[in-house]
A and B are shown apart, each in its own frame.
Chain A
Amino acid sequence: MTSVSGEEGNFEIKLVQHPRYIDMEKCIACGVCAEKCPKKVTDEYDAGLGKRKAAYVKYAQAVPLKYAIDEKNCIYFKNGKCKACEKFCPADAVMFEDQPKELTIHAGAVLIAPGCSVYDPGVYDTYGYKKSPNIVTSLEFERILAATGPFSGHLLRPSDHKEPQKIAWIQCVGSRDMHPGSQPFCSAVCCTYAVKEAIIAKEHQKGELDTAIFYIDLRTHGKDFERYYNRAREAGVRFVKSKISTILPDGDTDNLLIAYTDETGRRIEETFDIVVLSVGFSPSKDALDLAQKLDLELDQYQLAVTSSFEPVQTSKPGVFVCGTFESPKDIPQSVIEASASAAMAESVLAASRGTMIQTKEAPAEIDVRGAAPRTGVFVCNCGTNIGGFLDVPAVVEYAKTLPNVVYADDNLFSCSQDTQEQITQIIKEQNLNRVVVAACSPRTHEPLFQETVLNAGINKYLFEMANIRNQCSWVHSDHKDDATAKAKDLVRMAASKASLLEPLAEPEIAMNQSALVVGGGLAGITAARNLARQGYRAYLVEKNDILGGQALNLYETWQGEDVQKHLAGLIQDIESDPNIDILTGTQVKRVEGFVGNFQTVVDTAGKEQVIEHGVAIIATGAQELKPDEYLYGEDPRVLTGLELDRKFIDDDPGLNEINSAVFIQCVGSRIKERPYCSKVCCTHSVKSALKLKETKPEMNVFIIYRDMRTYGLREELYREARAKGIVFIRYDVDKDLTVAKDQKGINLRCTSYVLQREIEIRPDLLVLATAMVAPAENPLAQLFKVPVNDDGFFVEAHVKLQPIDFSTKGVFVCGLAHAPKPVDEAVAQGLGAASRAATLLSKEKVLGNAIVSNIEAQLCRGCQLCLQACPYQAISFFEDRVACEVNQAVCTGCGSCAVACPTGAASILHFDDQEVLTMVEAAFN
């Protein structure tokens, strides 16, 4: 981007498109240019560990899959001679005369997601990163583990390509560090990715692998991350709380000697084969340049300034930010913010929705009914993921011998864009009417290949997938012959089913363009408010008599914003919005229908009414645990974190009387019954401790903790708290922490890790940072048929890529109902839910499920066993015909009716008895 002018609603942006020197229209991604190019260049994609050519594609699955010539390294651009790529390109796609193109575009809003750089440990080189090839960054280690990486997925150490016996991870490299070049903030992702890398490294190594993670505080604060950490400990990953002194080469070996000081002050030395530096985020130059051109305000870290209540709004109207340029964060939170920033843009531009879109024309479907099956089988190598562990050419040759198979071939990556185009072409040339891809999981890739066959005019239900990776090459990696035989079996089964496949149609469902939002806390209010601003009707249902949820109990956000003031403003906003119907004191009783057409019965003080809506957002929240330990409820000096907030909100004069306060962290969290981290409590306690100090500077304030999880930019608060004299005591969880009462007051005893001895404190105020807990009963889960996890929080469709959606179409989740989270993240997810909902609400009709139950009228005798078995009330009985019938719009295709049916009348389309049994037969043939 070179410049931007205009304002929210109408920006004019000038861009320069850099020359690629390859004609995108002509390039067929055959790779000949790269093969013939004589110039080797360090490969950025492999984090510098491998080489690529000056004519290159970033990686095999790159989108667009078109090669490019790297002008800085190309010999022709340096010397005026070579042009080997041009000479050998079979598509005549190389164009050295390519020039930068200036483009001008008009946009109503600008979303920036420029990301961050990864910290470069070579600049100040504290750890000798540049001196030993066996000291690698965590990103380099990702590449070492990857099948597409420099060692084809074999865990080898760079210096001698030997299998390592011992690997160490050093946490907080370039993060939580005040030294020049490093970042004072916590990068928020490194602890969990180190846990991941250690687990995966152990899985890679056939023999024993010793893994040790050297850390300051282990911050696995995200949803289900604590369980992951526990799993790693059970798998034998060592976690060493320590300070690293030096990392030096160990004599003439390529090993590395780590000298460190453990928590008790002991100096220890240990040798490792590989040392991984868990590097954090750094602001990127490109992002700063972009921010400058957009005239955005940046914070002290050179990241975009936002606020807790408007977490994706930059300082400039019409410009929104998401991802790590806002603050360090992981993938799910980036995805949530991505949707949140889309929601903001959608509300600003609501009146212009649909004015510039183009619709894609699908090719006419070829009628294959009655035609003999002509099946094509495409076997994927998945780089080396499949090809490295079983004999793919043998599977191809075998496939050619199967009934109805008229074509078979293999692909390096079947999911790459060029292969998609090739498959489409082959379907047309070979007149295929059934397609089998033997590759990975249909869960992730079936929609992609269905689109591919659709582009060739073939109904997408004439496609079948065999999973020869996850269920074959990966699990039988030591037995090539057996794996090959099993792959043949799986292909034979898929091909047998393919012959029987019939085309199916997806029913069109009219969309009721209104939303039901259940839960009137911050997330729900935010979602309803944004949807209303996008022009959709929202029904906001709250079971309590007032709106606000947990936010009513909060004093300030971690950034110091007044929660009550903002909340009151938001409530005022939605109360005056004609697009929002607020129903307080109301509970959801029954839910019928499906995406596009829900009918929900709600009860307000004994009076029922039906709300018709197209989508639903669940924002039912969570609560602070009221503990039954540490004298809570027995002594008025013992409070929970929120009860202390209440005193702050009320400006309680009693706080001035306190001389000594103690916070106990992880009360009810990270324990056997509740093995998750409640995420907000560390920051909340630090914030409250600072407030106490501010109220009365001479007060002694202690925080007794396990790991301080002031993640991301919240680290600043932790630093401030230590500077202001708040005492942090890491206690030994395996030893007793007791709170008793005597004549002199409260008596707290615990064992300090650092001192290795028991300490005693007598506070006037004891604050328990208790867990965030989901409601014990969650009838909405049943009503909307959406799952909850062992901890009672709702389970999203995909932890990384669909953190707001449910698997049930048209139902979304946000706020504490999803997982413990602070105000800014709840607001972001509320906005995100509005955006996800708008992808449906913006349409007049949506396509329903084609894989549904079908009851053959002639075979049905009206016994109604299917009706009883159906969990979705999708089946009705007709007395006049003495037969049952399926409402296919409600049916989810679960198959319960087909199992219950004694006559075989009920079956699931695409998975009927014949289609399934032929696979079973083929398996044993």
Chain B
Amino acid sequence: MSTDKTGSVMVVGGGIAGMQSALDLADSGFYVYLVERSSSIGGVMAQLDKTFPTNDCSM
């Protein structure tokens, strides 16, 4: 299919929001560049012990 728009998206930030956007986009047919400043994704949520209000493990 010829088109004048690029079928890829850059997502900046690999925290929970960036990861979810990247997943949705990739799952619906777009190539995703997930750009993260630090050496791994996960963001602040990876530092949390549990999450409210279910006390589930954050990891």
Interface residues of A (CB under 8 A from B): 1, 9-11, 13, 15, 20, 45, 47, 57-59, 61-66, 68, 105-115, 118, 139, 142-143, 145-147, 149, 192-193, 195-196, 199-200, 222, 224-225, 227-228, 286, 290, 322-324, 331, 334-335, 337-339, 341-343, 345-346, 348-349, 351-358, 440, 799-801, 835-836, 838-839, 841-842
Q: A63-B41, A353-B7, A355-B3 are in contact. List 19 more A-B contacts (CB 8 A).
A: A45-B46, A62-B42, A64-B40, A107-B8, A107-B9, A107-B10, A107-B33, A111-B18, A113-B18, A113-B21, A225-B53, A334-B15, A342-B28, A351-B5, A356-B8, A799-B53, A799-B54, A838-B24, A839-B28
Q: Which of B1-47 contact A (CB under 8 A)?
A: 1, 3-13, 15-21, 24-31, 33, 35, 37-47
Contacts of B45 in A (CB 8 A): 331
The answer to whether B8 and A338 have CB atoms under 8 Å apart is no
What is the distance, in angstroms, from A50's C-beta to the closest C-beta of chain B? 12
Contacts of A66 in B (CB 8 A): 39
User: Which A residue sits closest to B20, measured CB to CB?
Assistant: A338
B7, B11, B25, B52 — most chain A CB neighbours (10 Å): B52
**Given contacts A58-B39, A64-B40, A149-B49, are A106 and B17 in contact (CB under 8 A)?**
no
CA distance A607 to B18 in the complex (A): 46
The answer to whether B6 and A106 have CB atoms under 8 Å apart is yes
The answer to whether A225 and B52 have CB atoms under 8 Å apart is yes
The answer to whether A113 and B12 have CB atoms under 8 Å apart is yes
Q: Which of A1, A346, A351, A358 contacts B12 (CB 8 A)?
A: A1
What is the distance, in angstroms, from B17's C-beta to the closest C-beta of chain A? 3
B10, B20, B57 — most chain A CB neighbours (10 Å): B20
Q: Which of B6, B18, B30 contacts A346 (CB 8 A)?
A: B30
Contacts of B31 in A (CB 8 A): 356-358
User: Which A residue sits closest to B15, measured CB to CB?
Assistant: A115
Q: Report the 10 A-B pairs with minimum CB-CB distance, sorted nearest first.
A: A323-B17, A338-B20, A352-B7, A113-B13, A355-B7, A113-B18, A342-B24, A62-B40, A228-B53, A356-B31
Contacts of B8 in A (CB 8 A): 105-108, 356
**Given contacts A142-B47, A228-B52, are A349 and B7 in contact (CB under 8 A)?**
yes
What is the distance, in angstroms, from B38's C-beta to the closest C-beta of chain A? 7
Contacts of A338 in B (CB 8 A): 16-21, 24
A64, A192, A323, A841 — most chain B CB neighbours (10 Å): A323
CA distance A838 to B13 in the complex (A): 23
Contacts of A143 in B (CB 8 A): 47, 49
Contacts of B16 in A (CB 8 A): 323, 331, 334-335, 338, 801
Contacts of B5 in A (CB 8 A): 9-10, 108, 348-349, 351-352
Contacts of A348 in B (CB 8 A): 5
What is the distance, in angstroms, from A712's C-beta to the closest C-beta of chain B? 15
The answer to whether A110 and B29 have CB atoms under 8 Å apart is no
CA distance A63 to B31 in the complex (A): 19
Contacts of A358 in B (CB 8 A): 31
CA distance A15 to B52 in the complex (A): 36
Contacts of B37 in A (CB 8 A): 286
Contacts of B4 in A (CB 8 A): 9-10
What is the distance, in angstroms, from A81's C-beta to the closest C-beta of chain B? 24
The answer to whether A353 and B51 have CB atoms under 8 Å apart is no
What is the distance, in angstroms, from B46's C-beta to the closest C-beta of chain A? 6
Q: Which of A68, A105, A200, A839 contacts B33 (CB 8 A)?
A: A105
The answer to whether B39 and A11 have CB atoms under 8 Å apart is no
CA distance A110 to B9 in the complex (A): 6
The answer to whether A351 and B3 have CB atoms under 8 Å apart is yes
The answer to whether B17 and A349 have CB atoms under 8 Å apart is no
CA distance A353 to B30 in the complex (A): 6
What is the distance, in angstroms, from B57's C-beta to the closest C-beta of chain A? 8
What is the distance, in angstroms, from B15's C-beta to the closest C-beta of chain A? 5
What is the distance, in angstroms, from A15's C-beta to the closest C-beta of chain B? 6
Contacts of A10 in B (CB 8 A): 4-6
The answer to whether A200 and B49 have CB atoms under 8 Å apart is yes
The answer to whether B39 and A20 have CB atoms under 8 Å apart is yes
The answer to whether A111 and B52 have CB atoms under 8 Å apart is no
The answer to whether B30 and A111 have CB atoms under 8 Å apart is no
What is the distance, in angstroms, from B5's C-beta to the closest C-beta of chain A? 4
CA distance A324 to B52 in the complex (A): 17
The answer to whether A356 and B6 have CB atoms under 8 Å apart is yes
Contacts of B18 in A (CB 8 A): 111, 113, 322-323, 338
Can you pick out 28 interface pairs between chain A and chain B where the beta carbons lie within 8 Å of each other?
A1-B12, A1-B35, A10-B5, A11-B10, A45-B47, A62-B46, A64-B40, A107-B9, A107-B33, A108-B6, A192-B52, A196-B52, A228-B52, A322-B18, A323-B13, A335-B17, A335-B20, A342-B20, A342-B25, A345-B9, A349-B5, A355-B1, A355-B3, A355-B7, A356-B7, A356-B8, A356-B30, A357-B7
**Given contacts A145-B49, A342-B24, A358-B31, are A110 and B3 in contact (CB under 8 A)?**
no
The answer to whether B17 and A345 have CB atoms under 8 Å apart is no
User: Which B residue sits closest to A110, measured CB to CB?
Assistant: B10
**Given contacts A9-B5, A58-B42, A799-B54, are A339 and B30 in contact (CB under 8 A)?**
no
CA distance A338 to B24 in the complex (A): 8
The answer to whether B25 and A346 have CB atoms under 8 Å apart is yes
The answer to whether B52 and A114 have CB atoms under 8 Å apart is no
Contacts of B35 in A (CB 8 A): 1, 15
CA distance A10 to B30 in the complex (A): 14
CA distance A279 to B12 in the complex (A): 25
Contacts of B29 in A (CB 8 A): 353-354, 357, 842
A114, A142, A324 — most chain B CB neighbours (10 Å): A114
Q: Which of A11, A61, A354 contacts B59 (CB 8 A)?
A: A61
Q: Which of A65, A355, A842 contacts B28 (CB 8 A)?
A: A842
What is the distance, in angstroms, from A205's C-beta to the closest C-beta of chain B? 15
The answer to whether A345 and B30 have CB atoms under 8 Å apart is yes
CA distance A358 to B54 in the complex (A): 37
Contacts of A118 in B (CB 8 A): 44
CA distance A839 to B59 in the complex (A): 24
User: Which A residue sits closest to B11, measured CB to CB?
Assistant: A111
What is the distance, in angstroms, from A447's C-beta to the closest C-beta of chain B? 13
CA distance A9 to B55 in the complex (A): 42
Contacts of A1 in B (CB 8 A): 12, 35
The answer to whether A47 and B11 have CB atoms under 8 Å apart is no
The answer to whether B48 and A142 have CB atoms under 8 Å apart is yes
User: Which A residue sits closest to B59, measured CB to CB?
Assistant: A61
Contacts of B3 in A (CB 8 A): 351-352, 355
User: Which A residue sits closest to B1, measured CB to CB?
Assistant: A355
Contacts of A352 in B (CB 8 A): 1, 3, 5-7, 30
Contacts of A342 in B (CB 8 A): 9, 20-21, 24-25, 28
The answer to whether A62 and B7 have CB atoms under 8 Å apart is no
User: Which B residue sits closest to A70, measured CB to CB?
Assistant: B39
The answer to whether A353 and B28 have CB atoms under 8 Å apart is yes
CA distance A334 to B43 in the complex (A): 12
What is the distance, in angstroms, from A470's C-beta to the closest C-beta of chain B? 9
User: Which B residue sits closest to A197, measured CB to CB?
Assistant: B49
CA distance A355 to B5 in the complex (A): 10
User: Which A residue sits closest to B6, measured CB to CB?
Assistant: A108
Contacts of A106 in B (CB 8 A): 6, 8
Contacts of B59 in A (CB 8 A): 61
A9, A68, A338 — most chain B CB neighbours (10 Å): A338
The answer to whether B52 and A108 have CB atoms under 8 Å apart is no
**Given contacts A61-B59, A108-B5, A345-B25, are A334 and B17 in contact (CB under 8 A)?**
yes
CA distance A20 to B37 in the complex (A): 11
What is the distance, in angstroms, from B9's C-beta to the closest C-beta of chain A? 5
What is the distance, in angstroms, from B55's C-beta to the closest C-beta of chain A? 7
What is the distance, in angstroms, from B44's C-beta to the closest C-beta of chain A? 6
Contacts of B39 in A (CB 8 A): 20, 57-58, 62, 66, 68
Q: Which of B10, B13, B25, B46 contacts A59 (CB 8 A)?
A: B46
Contacts of A58 in B (CB 8 A): 38-40, 42, 46
The answer to whether B10 and A105 have CB atoms under 8 Å apart is yes
B17, B25, B56 — most chain A CB neighbours (10 Å): B17
What is the distance, in angstroms, from B1's C-beta to the closest C-beta of chain A? 6
CA distance A114 to B53 in the complex (A): 25
